[in-house]
Chains A and B, each alone.
Chain A
Amino acid sequence: MTRFARMLITLAALLAAATPLADPAAAQDRARTKEVVVAFAAEPRTLLPDTIVDWTTNNMVEHMYDRLVDRDPKSFKPSPMLATGWKIVNDTTWEFALRQGVKFHNGEPFNAQSVKTTMDYIKDPANKTHYLPRWSQVKEVQIVNDYTVRFITEKPWPGLIDRIAGSDFLPMPPKALKEQGVQALAAKPIGTGAFRFVQWVRDEKLVVERNPDYWQTPAEASRVTFRFIPEFSARLAALLAGEVDIMKDVPPQNVEMLQQSGKARLRATVSSRINYLALVNLKPGPMQDLRVRKAIHHAINVDELIQQVLKGRATKMCGPLSPINVDYSSKPQCIKYDPAQAQALLKEAGVDPTKLQLTLDTPSGRYPLDKDVSLAIAAQLQRIGIKTNVVVNEWGTHLDKIKNRTTGDMFFLGWGPALDAQNTIDQLFSASQTYSSYGNNKALDAKIAQAVVIVDPRKRLEAWAELQQMVHDEVPWVFLWQQHDLYGVANWIEWSPRADEKIWMYEAKLAR
């Protein structure tokens, strides 16, 4: 290297060593004025609610719009928000009681008309919302009186409450919608939420301010700025420099450094999002034999993966549903790490592990350490002699391959938020579903079709429990884990992350 360059480097190193971490003046100012900055990797795709299914978008939109029904962050059961109560009136009718005294940001009252207008908006094909297929079973919304609505469905849909308890239904202001139209509402959002829209500078930041007329106690934060920083290390740098206060997805290896930084610390929660290794039986190959699938599962040491690759930041699962899923049953037993059993099963199936050549498709950077986990899995399979070729795909290609059934024998994927059985089991274990890896099991298909229409809650739970056992016994996946969501949170903010991945600054408590 040139002398000049070396001189520069020495100078820079001396400078860096001699100065402490940057002075958090900016953060101190913001602590006084109670302004919070949250860093996201991307900007929202729209500010219209009920339009685009996207975690980033919904997180920001839900600061300005409320859910009709929320999910309790601890028990994950549906909890009141804009609706105060609900019940099933008859097989095809759900009735909701609405909260009184709630106003939209423009002064409009929230009532039954808002709910009806919102459903009309979703079901209008001209609006091209992604939520239309999710609400296809709803025929219409009936107004009983100002604060009571009924959802009429085509067929019995006891799962409606799970569907509605989340981002899938955020009431919109009917008067504003009618008078100004959709585009105006997209440019200037009007909801009932804890924060009001201030400004959106595309690809840079979104600013919202406290709503003093919120139907609950107004938020502590006076202003929230969402900054969009695509590069992970730049986000972390911003957190360490005191420019942002909250960021998601800190890699496990960076946790210690974060805790020692003196500026921010780790806040972790067990997520409802699950990761799994799909063993594809939808095309001819070794995975079509149940014994081979079992053998592969026995050959993989999930605990070692969690300990060594994820540094303990994942919670092992033993079946298709995680314990925080409301329909979870603890009956299915964990399939133990047992290489001897794996060898025995393979021998029984007439397969020689040293002659086996498998392909594992994985995305990169989509789920925590997905590529590294896949490489580790390949290394573990090598221990019993199986050669695995890991193919790293760009995300779009990965989805393409799964949908077209052109992946290898195995693929790595995640699914979430996975808070109820229907949206997990129904989606992933029959051949007709888009991203399924397993199917053509008639008994399973029949049982699923039966379970989704059971109205009685106790019988439903029993049916799903039976299904979990059935799925578990078929070993369609190597059951891996629930992700841990690792957030970096500035020291002056008291905020606990939620398992459903909703980042809501209303819940942030600020240090004095």
Chain B
Amino acid sequence: MRAYLLSRLGQTLLVVFLSLTAVFFLVRLGGDPVLLFLPMDIQAKDLNEFRQRLGFNDPLAVQYGRFIGHALRGDFGESLRYKNDALQLVLSRLPATLALAVAALGLTFCVAVPVGVLSAVRPGSLVDFLGMTGAVLGQAVPGFWLGLMMIYLFSVRLGWLPTGGMGSPLHFVMPCVVLASFYAARMARLTRSSVLDTLNEEFVLTARAKGLAERIVIGKHTLKNSAIPIVTLAGLDTGQLLGGAVITETIFAWPGLGRLTVQALLNRDFPVVLAAVFVFSVTYTLINFAVDLLYGWLDPRTRRRA
């Protein structure tokens, strides 16, 4: 067990390190960061002085070495745009994003899994047709279009829901629905195909032959076994939700990590971008780890792997 944990830890560090290195060099290709956060009436020599003081005139290798050295101590520097510690800024946004991700995933599960199961249990029926077409529609409609339509309907015309921001459970409704429409769609389709596969397996046929009630066949025997791909997707989706809900966060003025990262990218705020990448890689590998542990519980056959 210990060897397993150590090896996972090693893999985590490797992935994090590679991510940071790749992004470090990638963002620098985007252009001069100093231009964007200084006023437009700045003189060339003052521009250079700022660049000098922030260390951007040093050779790339030196900058990289300095960055790694500081990063190892958890210091990602000060944001170029805001006068705040970069890592602190990123971490302060994490709770809002996590809350939204958890809520959206919850809604996704509650909608997608039942729809997927129903469709799989009655393949070719009207229920299947409607469910899967609805799912495909959910993936086809751009999120921001849906979000803006919802704001117009529910906030401006009906006044039922607030237009954005955080603050009350009501604020969660529209962002969650918009996010879930995409992820639930995917998950419904995956659930359907996964359950379909399991239903064809021998042990299910056996259970049916034994005369067990349909409900038990599905509930007890099928679900746990079809869960693996679902859990995998959920893990991937959580990672995507943390940083990928940019559009939803922008439209609903949600103070989340995705929006912060995109703005940092556009503003060439390197310290914040790198701090965000760090948080993403760590979270992603942690989730992967949790998913693997969950595999072990769901399907003991996979437990032997180390």
Question: Is there an interface contact between A51 and B93, defined as CB atoms closer than 8 Å?
Answer: no
Question: Is there an interface contact between B253 and A133, defined as CB atoms closer than 8 Å?
Answer: no
B35 close to chain A: CB less than 8 A: yes
Minimum C-beta distance from B98 to chain A (A): 15
Question: Is there an interface contact between A48 and B92, defined as CB atoms closer than 8 Å?
Answer: no
Q: Which of B64-72, B99-107, B160-168, B294-302 contacts A (4 or more CB under 8 A)?
A: B160-168
Question: Is there an interface contact between B83 and A229, defined as CB atoms closer than 8 Å?
Answer: no
B44 close to chain A: CB less than 8 A: yes
The residue among B31, B130, B148, B163 with the most chain A CB atoms within 10 A of its own CB is B163
Q: Which residue of the partner chain, among B40, B53, B148, contacts A434 with CB atoms under 8 Å?
A: B40
Q: Taking CB as reference atom, which chain A residue is nearest B159?
A: A22
Report the separation of the CA atoms of residues A45 and B250 in the bound assembly, to the nearest whole angstrom: 18
B290 close to chain A: CB less than 8 A: no
Question: Is there an interface contact between A234 and B43, defined as CB atoms closer than 8 Å?
Answer: no
Once A4-B134, A130-B38, A434-B44 are accepted as A-B contacts, the answer to whether A204 and B156 lie under 8 Å apart by CB is no
Contacts of A204 in B (CB 8 A): 165-166, 253, 255
Question: Is there an interface contact between A21 and B266, defined as CB atoms closer than 8 Å?
Answer: no
A367 close to chain B: CB less than 8 A: no
Question: Is there an interface contact between A16 and B157, defined as CB atoms closer than 8 Å?
Answer: yes
Q: Taking CB as reference atom, which chain A residue is nearest B79?
A: A45
B36 close to chain A: CB less than 8 A: yes
Minimum C-beta distance from A458 to chain B (A): 26
Contacts of A31 in B (CB 8 A): none
Once A4-B130, A403-B35 are accepted as A-B contacts, the answer to whether A230 and B253 lie under 8 Å apart by CB is yes
Interchain pairs with CB closer than 8 A, number: 136
Question: Is there an interface contact between A45 and B159, defined as CB atoms closer than 8 Å?
Answer: no
Q: Which residue of the partner chain, among A3, A186, A396, A433, contacts B83 with CB atoms under 8 Å?
A: A186
Once A2-B134, A21-B157, A240-B156 are accepted as A-B contacts, the answer to whether A133 and B165 lie under 8 Å apart by CB is no
Once A53-B39, A400-B31 are accepted as A-B contacts, the answer to whether A243 and B130 lie under 8 Å apart by CB is no
Contacts of B186 in A (CB 8 A): none
Interface residues in A1-58 by Cβ distance below 8 A to B read 1-5, 12, 15-16, 19, 21-23, 45-46, 48, 51-54
Q: Which residue of the partner chain, among B37, B50, B158, B163, contacts A243 with CB atoms under 8 Å?
A: B163
Question: Is there an interface contact between A228 and B253, defined as CB atoms closer than 8 Å?
Answer: yes
Q: Taking CB as reference atom, which chain A residue is nearest B46?
A: A133
A227 close to chain B: CB less than 8 A: yes
Contacts of B36 in A (CB 8 A): 395-396, 399
Report the separation of the CA atoms of residues A3 and B129 in the bound assembly, to the nearest whole angstrom: 11
Report the separation of the CA atoms of residues A46 and B78 in the bound assembly, to the nearest whole angstrom: 13
Question: Is there an interface contact between A234 and B82, defined as CB atoms closer than 8 Å?
Answer: no
Contacts of A364 in B (CB 8 A): none
Q: Taking CB as reference atom, which chain B residue is nearest A5?
A: B137
Contacts of B152 in A (CB 8 A): 237
Q: Which residue of the partner chain, among A16, A46, A399, contacts B35 with CB atoms under 8 Å?
A: A399
Contacts of A46 in B (CB 8 A): 82-83
Question: Is there an interface contact between B35 and A133, defined as CB atoms closer than 8 Å?
Answer: no
Please tell me the number of chain B residues within 8 Å of chain A, measured between CB atoms.
51
Contacts of B252 in A (CB 8 A): 234
Q: Which residue of the partner chain, among A22, A54, A403, A434, contacts B155 with CB atoms under 8 Å?
A: A22
Report the separation of the CA atoms of residues A125 and B148 in the bound assembly, to the nearest whole angstrom: 46
Minimum C-beta distance from A453 to chain B (A): 17
Q: Which residue of the partner chain, among B83, B89, B148, contacts A51 with CB atoms under 8 Å?
A: B83
Minimum C-beta distance from B287 to chain A (A): 24
Minimum C-beta distance from A199 to chain B (A): 13
Q: Taking CB as reference atom, which chain B residue is nearest A133?
A: B46
Minimum C-beta distance from B157 to chain A (A): 5
A259 close to chain B: CB less than 8 A: no
A203 close to chain B: CB less than 8 A: yes
Contacts of A234 in B (CB 8 A): 148, 151, 163-164, 251-253
Q: Which residue of the partner chain, among A1, A12, A128, A435, contacts B40 with CB atoms under 8 Å?
A: A435
Once A5-B137, A53-B38, A423-B41 are accepted as A-B contacts, the answer to whether A19 and B82 lie under 8 Å apart by CB is no
Once A202-B255, A241-B163 are accepted as A-B contacts, the answer to whether A2 and B40 lie under 8 Å apart by CB is no
Report the separation of the CA atoms of residues A23 and B158 in the bound assembly, to the nearest whole angstrom: 8
Question: Is there an interface contact between A433 and B43, defined as CB atoms closer than 8 Å?
Answer: yes
Interface residues in B255-293 by Cβ distance below 8 A to A read 255, 259-260, 266-268
How does the 8 Å CB contact mask read for B22-56 relative to A, with 1 for contact and 0 for none?
Answer: 00000000111001111111111011001001000
Contacts of A243 in B (CB 8 A): 155, 162-163
A19-B158, A204-B253, A233-B148 are known contacts; what are 16 more A-B pairs with Cβ within 8 Å? A2-B130, A4-B130, A21-B156, A53-B38, A53-B39, A130-B38, A134-B41, A227-B165, A230-B250, A230-B259, A231-B251, A234-B151, A241-B163, A396-B36, A427-B41, A435-B40
Chain B residues engaging chain A, CB cutoff 8 angstroms:
30-32, 35-44, 46-47, 50, 53, 81-83, 89, 92-93, 130, 133-134, 137, 148, 151-153, 155-159, 162-166, 250-253, 255, 259-260, 266-268
The 7 closest A-B pairs by CB, nearest first: A22-B159, A203-B255, A53-B39, A133-B46, A229-B253, A238-B163, A46-B83
A sample of 17 inter-chain contacts (CB < 8 A) reads: A3-B130, A5-B134, A15-B158, A19-B157, A21-B156, A22-B158, A45-B81, A53-B39, A130-B42, A202-B255, A204-B165, A204-B166, A205-B165, A228-B253, A230-B250, A234-B151, A400-B35
